[in-house]
Structures are given as structure tokens and as C-alpha cells.
Structure 1
Amino acid sequence: MSLNDQTTFINHPLLRNNLLQFREYQKNISSLALNKNTLVILPTALGKTIISLLVSINTLYNYRDKRILILAPTRPLVNQHWKSFVSYIKLPNDQTAVVTGKIPPYARTIVWNNDAIRLVFSTPEVVRNDIKEKRVSLENFFLIVFDEAHRAVKDYAYTFIADQYVRHCSFPLILGLTASPGSEKSKIQEICNNLFIEHLEYKTEEDADVKRFINPIDINWKWFDLPSEYHYVKSILKTMLEEKLNWLISRNIVTKNSKWIFKRDLISLGDELRGTLLSIPEDQRRSLYFALMQQSVALSLMYCIELMESQGFNSLGTFLSRTQGEDTRSHKMLIGDNRIKEIRRLIEQLNMEHPKIQYLIKVLKDRFDSQINSQINSQINSQINSKNTHNLIRGELEKDSRVLIFTQYRDTAQHIVE
């Protein structure tokens, strides 16, 4: 069945009428993805999910006895995809299912064995575990969609699933979706190799067929100077970090100058040390265990510095409190250091916000207050007294005016709300 591109909306026997807007680039990409294992690299908000939906409805329509598996890294994302699909597709409810770790194994087995359920949404860890436990075979799935496909590196579950799929399915079809494949050619190649990609579709916001769907964004950068108290805490953390890095350097475990050692270097070192531990006799592992502790503490200190500089004392204090409750040697080493104890006391005593949090609160307050005052002034001659007018307008704004704030960490989001 082909897609009708002569109308504003996409027409298809499995689509609800007048819901899905037609976009030429989505149609073209989805048509190509029906014939080859395809990796789609598309900026955020340009409809990667819609492309997977278009590929899916054509597959469901043309292969009535086949099934489709939609994978996403997290449970909320899986549920989001399911809601999006069922809102567009004319498919009975009993032909779709969400399979996550919250569903017990025996119930998952029922879903996997029920060929009438043609559209399954799941997390990769669950699928990997169920393959290993022989609860599911992928041979009857005509299409597997890998959302956030840039995760298909090293030993992530996507890699295992793709390999098993290609091994056991006679005619496998893979669709990978990502907005951020990475800047290194070697990583993109690894993703393509792991997902058996045959064709690459890449769009930027400047492409002619995409540009008209991009909403203009006015970006206003603000730069902040950290207070002297922040610099003092940073100096303590930097000194501690230097000690750990120099310990690793002095034993030739790391060969770089300490100022050129970054987070990715320590992560790679941790992987290397853990790999070595598995390959040597037990009686030779003690020194490596201690090296791994130094590496782990150094990584935590890097994180502490980044957290304090970018998020503030509140997020740093929350992280250190959480770390205290974790029963690992490296965390005990970090929390037990007197300098960390001093930092925690300082954070508690100072109760000092990050400058950007203060600025954000001011921006929000000014925004809502200016809207309220503007509407009050426009009604100043009304018979309603100003206090009642103020309350009425504030209530209306609370319902109608919305602000979306993005932040890197959950703790910061919670703190802003509080």
C-alpha cells in the first residue's frame, strides 16, 4: 500500500483520518526504510517517531501475519511511543502490547507467544533477558525499531538483540533512529555495524525539505561568575582530584599529564582495570582493586566539580548525601575524607544558591508579574477593585501561561520546583 501525498494529511487504511500531517521528507525516508536496514539521523522534533510509524503501518498492512517490535531505552519512552502509535493507528487494542520489567516473566511469555499481538513496545534489557531465558524468539518479527540507536555500542542490549534478530529471522528489517549519533566517524560506524545498517538517512535543519518545519528559536546566552565560596570548595575538590590522578600517574596506570585527563579517560581506565581483574589469578588482584578505588574516587571528584559549577551547592550536597548511603569502598573513601566533611558543613551553613538559579527565579517572577500588572492596568477603570482583579488575573495566568524549563539533573529540577 502506498502513501497518498496529494493531500495535507496522510491517507492509509491503517491510519485514522485527518490526523497525521503529510511531510515529503518523512514519506521519502520511510519508503526507503521499507527495503533496507536504515539508520535515520534527524534533529529533535522533526518526527523520527512518525517515520517509524509510517514504516510500521506499511509493514503491518502488507504482511498480515508478521509482527513489529518497537524498542526504546526507558519505560517512560516506551509508553510514550505506545501512546503515540495507538493515537494514530487503526488497530484493535488487543493487537498492541507494552512489555517492560514491571510485567512478570510468565505474563511476558504470554505476550511473546501470542502472534495476534502484532505491535509490541519494550525496553531492550527485558528483550535481551527474555531471549536468553528462551521466552521469546524474534523470527516472527518482520521489523524491529531501535529508538535512540546511538546506544548500540559495546555491550548495550541493542547490540545483542540485533545480532540475535539477524541470526534467527529469515527476512530481518531494522530501523534505527537517533538525533545524536556522535561526532566521531568510528562511533557511527560501530553503530551501523552493530545494527547491520545498509542505508543511512541524514537530515539537518538547513535541508530545504526540512527547513520550513523548523520553528525559529531566539537564543539568549547568560554568563555568570561563581561566588568566592564556590571557588574555595572547587579548590578543595581539585586538590583531592590531583592527588588521585598523581597516584595513578606515579604507578604508570595513567600516562597522561593530569591536566589532560578527562572523564572519558577515567571511564575507559575503569573498563580496562575491570577487564584485567578477570584475567589474572585471585592472589594478584589486590593492587588492581586499590587502583580501581582510586580511579572511582577520581571520577566521583570530577563529577562533584562539574555538579557544583553547573548546578550549585544544593545538587552537590544532595549527591554527597546519597553517596554516603552507598556501601562501596570507593564511596566510603570519598565520604570519609575530612575535606569532604568540611565541604558538607560549609554547604549546610551557607545555604547559597547558584547564581543562575537566582536569575531563573527572577526571570520567572518578572515574567508573571509583568503580565499581571499589564492586565490590571488595562482594567483599572473597571468597577472591580484592584485586589480582586489581581487575584482573578493571577488565577487566569496560572491556568493559561506556561514555561518549560530544561535542566540536566533531576535533583536540580526538584530544587527549582521547591
Structure 2
Amino acid sequence: MKILDFTPREYQNAIFETVKGHNTLVVLPTGIGKTAIAILLSENRLNLYPESKILICSPTKPLCAQHVKSFTKFTDVDKEDIVIYTGAIPPKKRADLWNNGKIIIATPQTIESDLINNRISLESTSLLVIDEAHRSRMKYANTLVAKNYNENAKNKRILALTASPGSTKERIDEIRDNLFLDRVEIRAETDKDVSPYVQEKEIEWVHVNLPSEFDRIKNLIKQLRDDKINELKRIIPQKKFFNKKDLLNLQFSFRKSITKGNKMAFWGISLTAQLLKLSYALELVETQGIRQLIQYWNKLEADTSKAAKIIINDSRIKQAIQLSSDFQENKHPKMLKLKEIVLNELNKNNESRVIIFANFRNTINEIYKELNDHLIKPVILVGQKEGLTQKEQIKRIKEFGEGIYNVLIGTSISEEGLDIPTANLAIFYEPVPSEIRMIQRGGRVGRTIKGKIIFLITKKTRDEAYYWSSKSKEKTMKRTLYNIKNKVNIQSRIGEFNNDN
């Protein structure tokens, strides 16, 4: 294998010197060449072991297709030897593709299934690349594939790639342990060997006020929620505040207590369920819109659980439901601001490509309806679970890049790894509290041209809290990674020195 039309950058060469001798977690900002390191290492391994295979695991078919494109463009490997390997291909044909392929680019779930059913063996695979390695927690397919590879491959080397492994040392260590990684390489956009290749990204925060009609509904829900929190405090008096994570952990604890005969645990489970449902309703009215809230009220009314019935039968919620019906034509101010921003952008530059991220599918549908006019050509990008095949996902991404569509509206499927070089504006309909998702979203713009990111934030709501939470976690993640890198690499050098003596 030889590399074509590609000269490695200084930081890529420096990282390559590490990865060729060690199983390594590589953390790089999106759009500055993680795939290039995989190509460099693939060349190295195939030259060392000419009869071996390379396996690249990537979580979705669109991402697999991008890797096929990169290896076809930048290497001299025959097209027939670069194989895309997903669950869409029948098992018998997959076995043939595996036997005949040189570079296998696969979804990890498909590899896991074929390993369990003994259709393939990783014995002759000299390199395992795990793309989007933050998806490598316990019982994930990546983890099981890495375990099999570590146990069976004759000539082992593992390369894990991500822009965002997580903010805590425990989360990062879990990925390292699960993927058998002994080194860490990290670069930030501000590092001197990386910064020349990073496109400038302008960040803008657009704040809106929650209208009084929304506030009336919110306050009714909040009154019931506060009552339920006080009830929960009578069971757990030492707790003063309960966030979503606390409530989920409490539910788990209460369920365990039931088996020990704790009668209060049944009420505890119902209370935590009520609080989770009320918290969700508050999130919808604060950050999404009244129509989305009405859909949730309808769902609760059809819910036969005790928690749902208690909520629906409360007089304050009955009043909130009536107000929701009265104000259902009132759009969330973020929706109005979103259309204004998109129209201004396209009027200013009709070649612009805009990506809009939203958490909720029904909000995406509302955004599509709001934006679908003569100047704006929107398209929705969602996952297979939401009804869009991976073939159609690839088609829509391609057509967005070509300008058939100029606005891409997506859920989490549009956050990870997608190479959309022409996208110059990303709009976050709501911030997300996850540093991983925030980094992934931001990486969709400013890859080859100057980009801009706009956050739509409703004042005095969880929009503000989620934004600052994710920024804090991102800072912690970078600090933790540099600390781990320095510690791990020093320990490795001490080990090498001791072995030499």
C-alpha cells in the first residue's frame, strides 16, 4: 500500500510516531485529519504484514462511506479491496467480502454479530481502528470487537479516534481500558502545530425572553413539581436538590429497596417518575414550544401508569393543559428568531449552507414547516430509528453539499463525523449539557471555510444552564486529557528505561 496525493502535517507525523508503536487514543478537533492518521498507520501495518487486513469500525453507514472515499482517494489500494461492511449486506455475502477484502470498513455491530456467529476471524487483522471512540463504554459493540481482537489477532495494533472522549478521568480511563490503549495523544485547536490548519469560528449567543403565556403554563407545572420535591425530601431529608441524574439514581435505589421489603420504596418510585415527567414538560415549554408540550400532554393522558394519572388529575396541570390548547398557535420566540437568522444569512449569501441542530424530532418537523419557503430549501436528517435509511441519509448529505438543499435540520445523527465541507453556519436550537455532543455539533462547520455557530438561548431557563454545563465539561475534558497524556507517557518511558536496564 502506498499513500497518494497526501503530505502529512507536522502534528500528524508526530502522532504517527506514537501510534505505530503503541495502542493509542488520539483526540483531535474535528476537521483536522484524524482519518489521515488512520491512513498513515494502515500503510505502515500493511507494509509490515502484507498478507494482513485492516479493520476500521465506524458507527454508521454514512461514516463508513466517508472512510471508503478517503482510502480510495489517498491510497493505491484497489477499489475492490476496500470493502464497506454493514448489516445491510446479507451474512453469506459479508463472509465473502471479508475473505476477499484488504481494508474492511464496517459498523462495529456487524463485526460483533459475525464474530459471535463465527463467520469471520480477526486473527490476520494487523490494525483495528475505532472511529468515534467515545462510543466504547462497557457492552458497546466497539468494546466487544476490541476484546476479541486483543485475544485473537497475531499482530495487534489498536488506534482509537475521537474529538470528545468525555470530561471525567473515569470516563476516559474506561475507554482506554475497554480498547486496551496504553498511550494518549491529544491536540487542541490552540496548539501551535495545529492552529495554522484551524478555520476561524465565530460564536454568537442569541437570547430570547419566554413570553408571558409560556410563563403561565411553566409556573403551573413548576408548582406541582415543587410540591413533589418537598414530598421526596420527606423520604430523603438530607437531599436539598434533585437533578435528572439524581432522580434516575434514586429510582434505581428504590427498586432495589422493594426486594428488601421497603414499603416506602413504591411511593419513592412513583414520586421520582412524576418528577421526571414534570421536568420533561418544563423543558418542552421552556426550550421547545407549546405544540410539543401538547403532544406530551396527549401522551401522558394515554399513559396508564400511576405517576401519569396523578399528574394529569392535578388541577394545576388541567389548567396548564387548557392554557396550552388556548395558546397552541403561539410560536416559541426561538422559532421566530431562527427563521429571521436563516433568511438574513441566505439573503446575504445565497451560497451559504446552514445546519440546524435540535434535540426533539417533533421540533425538527416544526422547524421544517416554518422554514420551507421559496428562498430556504430545507431537508431533514434523522437516524434509522426515526425512519430514514442510511442510503437516504448519504443521499441527503450529498445533495446538501451540492446545494440542492441549503439548510440541513438534524438530530444527533448529524452531530457525528459527517464531512460537510461547505457548511458555514451552525445553529443550535437549544444547547445540550453534554460536552461530547456540543463538540461534535461544533465540528460540523468551519472545516474548510470560515464558520459561525449561533446558540439560541431562552433567558432564565435550562437553555442557559445546559450551555454553561457543556462548556465547563469541555474545559475539564481537555485538562484531564493533557494530565493523562503526560502521566501515561512518563510511566511508559520509565517502564521502557527499566526494561533496557
Both structures adopt the same fold (TM-score exceeding 0.5): yes
Task: Give the one of 305, 309, 313 matched to 2:290.
Answer: 313
Inter-partner Cα distance in structure 2 for 1:334 and 1:143: 56
Task: Give the one of 232, 249, 256 matched to 2:216.
Answer: 232
Q: Which residue of 2 aligns with 1:82?
A: 68
Task: Give the one of 27, 31, 53 matched to 2:17.
Answer: 31
Q: Does 1:359 align with 2:345?
A: no
Task: Give the Å deviation of 1:146.
Answer: 1.5
Task: Give the Å deviation of 1:207.
Answer: 0.6
1:131 match: secondary structure? helix
Letter in 1 for 2:49: Y
Q: Which residue of 2 aligns with 1:128?
A: 112
Q: 1:115 to 1:133 in 2, by over 3 A?
A: closer
Contact 2:345-2:352 at 8 Å conserved across structures: no
Task: Give the Å deviation of 1:140.
Answer: 2.5
Q: Deviations over 1:361-381 (max 9, x none)?
A: 12233344466xxxxxxxxxx
Aligned runs of 1:138-287 on 2, under 5 Å? 138-252=122-236, 256-257=239-240, 260-270=241-251, 276=256, 280=259
Segment drifting more, 130-139 vs 189-198: 130-139
Q: Which residue of 2 aligns with 1:378?
A: none
Q: 1:266 to 1:404 in 2, by over 3 A?
A: same
1:49 match: secondary structure? helix
Inter-partner Cα distance in structure 2 for 1:164 and 1:198: 18
Contact 2:57-2:107 at 8 Å conserved across structures: yes
TM-score, length-normalised on structure 2? 0.63
Q: 1:223 to 1:164 in 2, by over 3 A?
A: same
Q: Does 1:56 align with 2:45?
A: no
2:104 match: secondary structure? strand
Q: Deviations over 1:59-112 (max 9, x none)?
A: 23432221222222333333333333333333223323333333344443444x
1:222 match: secondary structure? strand
Q: Does 1:14 align with 2:2?
A: yes
Letter in 2 for 1:354: H
Q: 1:62 to 1:335 in 2, by over 3 A?
A: farther
2:285 match: secondary structure? helix
Q: Does 1:403 align with 2:354?
A: yes
2:130 match: secondary structure? strand
Task: Give the Å deviation of 1:324.
Answer: 7.1
TM-score, length-normalised on structure 1? 0.75
Contact 2:112-2:141 at 8 Å conserved across structures: yes
Identity %: 34
Letter in 1 for 2:336: Q
Structure with greater strand percent: 2
Q: Which residue of 2 aligns with 1:386?
A: none
Task: Give the Å deviation of 1:43.
Answer: 1.6
Q: Deviations over 1:153-177 (max 9, x none)?
A: 2332322222222122233211111
Inter-partner Cα distance in structure 2 for 1:323 and 1:60: 57
1:405 match: secondary structure? strand
Q: 1:194 to 1:297 in 2, by over 3 A?
A: farther
Q: Which has the higher contact order (CA 8 A, sep 6+)?
A: 2
Task: Give the Å deviation of 1:47.
Answer: 1.8
Contact 1:311-1:354 at 8 Å conserved across structures: yes
2:202 match: secondary structure? coil
2:190 match: secondary structure? coil
Q: 1:405 to 1:91 in 2, by over 3 A?
A: same
Letter in 1 for 2:69: K
Task: Give the one of 359, 363, 369 matched to 1:412.
Answer: 363
Determine which structure has more spread, i.e. the larger CA radius of gyration: 1
Q: Which residue of 2 aligns with 1:391?
A: none
Inter-partner Cα distance in structure 2 for 1:288 and 1:104: 48
Q: Which runs of 5+ in 2 are unaligned?
A: 370-501
Q: 1:40 to 1:370 in 2, by over 3 A?
A: closer
Q: Which runs of 5+ in 1 are unaligned?
A: 1-12, 372-396
Q: Deviations over 1:178-224 (max 9, x none)?
A: 21122222221222112111110011111100011111222222221
Task: Give the Å deviation of 1:242.
Answer: 3.8
Aligned length: 367
Q: Which residue of 1 aligns with 2:82?
A: 96
Contact 2:127-2:159 at 8 Å conserved across structures: yes
